[in-house]
Amino acid sequence: MYTMDDLKTNRDAQITVGSIVFFLLAFPIYFGMAAGNADGSLGGGVADYQVNGEITYVQLDSGTEPIGDGDPWTDSFNTDAINNAEDLNIVGLRLSMSYGEDETGGEGPLCPGGSAAPDTIIGGASHLDFSASAEGQNNGGSGAHEVSAIWYNASMVGQVVSGLSMDEIKAQIDSMGAGLGDHTVSISVASQAGNEPSPTCSRSDGGETVDYTVELMVLDYTIAPYLDTSDI
C-alpha cells in the first residue's frame, strides 16, 4: 500500500491512486458486488500483477432500419437469448452502424450544381446505469460509426497493476453477472436536404436507412503475479 509520503512524491503512486479513485466514482456497482461476493478464495494479496485480456463479440441482433428524421428507433435485447450467458464475462454493449444517403429530387440535366447535405446519425447503447452515445454523418454519400457502453476498467488490461489485491483487480474487470439482463440500443437521425440553385429543383430528405449490428462485449482475462526480472 502507498503511504501519504508516497502520494506526495511518487508520480506512479499518484497515477495509480487517481485511477482507483476515478473508478470508485465512475463504477460504484462493482464495489457493491465485489463486497457481496468476497470470499477470499482467489487468494493473492496486494502485490504486482500482470493483467491480460481479450475482447470478443457475441451478436444479439443485426438488421436494416429506415429511420425517419426526428423519429428515433429503439430496441431491447435480453441475455436470456444467449446460450450460457451466465458463463460469459459481459463487460460492454456495442452498436455498429453504417448508412448511405437517400435524398430525392433535384436531379437530372435540368437541375445542375446541386448536392446532398449530410445527415447526422446518433447511436446509443445502454445497460443498467451505463450508457454511451456517438454520432456520425453520411458526408459524401455514406458513413459508418459505432458506440460502446462499457462497465469495466479497460485501462487495467495489458498492464502491470500495483497496490491492489487480486480480488480488487478482479472487481474492476469482472462484471460478476452485472452484464446479464436487458440491453438497449437506439438510433436517431437528423436529416438535412441539400440545396439546388433553382426553385423547381428542390430536394427532400426524410431520414436515413441504417444497417446496424448489436453485440455484447465479452472479456476473457488473466491476472498473474508479476515478476520483475530486473530485480533479480
Binding stretches for Ca ion (CB under 5 A): 102-103, 116-117, 119, 191, 205, 208
State in angstroms the smallest separation of the CB of 61 from Ca ion.
23
Per the CB < 8 A criterion, the answer to whether 143 and 136 are in contact is yes
User: 43, 166 in Cβ contact below 8 A?
Assistant: yes
Give whichever of 70 and 225 is closer to Ca ion, judged by the CB atom.
70
Residue 98 near residue 198, CB atoms below 8 Å:
no
Q: In the complex with Ca ion, which residue's Cβ is closer, 79 or 191?
A: 191
CB of 211 to Ca ion, least distance (A): 14
Q: Which is nearer to Ca ion, 119 or 168 (CB)?
A: 119
Residues 6 or more apart whose CB falls under 8 angstroms from that of 111 comprise: 196, 198, 200, 201
* Residue among 183, 189, 231 at smallest CA distance from 79: 183
How far apart are CB 100 and Ca ion at their closest, in Å?
Answer: 8
Closest approach, Cβ 66 to Ca ion, in A, equals: 10
Smallest distance, Ca ion to C-beta of residue 69, A: 8
Nearer to Ca ion, 53 or 123 (CB): 123
The least CB distance from residue 99 to Ca ion, in Å, is: 8
User: Can you tell me which residue has the cell 451478436?
Assistant: 59
User: Residue 188 or residue 191: which is nearer to Ca ion going by CB?
Assistant: 191
- Kindly tell me which of 121 and 180 has the beta carbon lying closer to Ca ion: 121
- Pick the closer one to Ca ion by CB: 52 or 204: 204
CA dihedral sign of residues 100, 105, 110, 112 = negative
Q: For residue 231, how far is the Cα from the chain centroid?
A: 38
Residue with cell 451505463: 130
| Distance between CA atoms of residues 20 and 22, nearest Å | 5
Q: How far is the CB of 63 from Ca ion (least distance, A)?
A: 18
DSSP assignment of 126-162, as one string?
Answer: EETTEEEEEEEE-GGG-EEEEEEEE-S-GGGTTEEEE
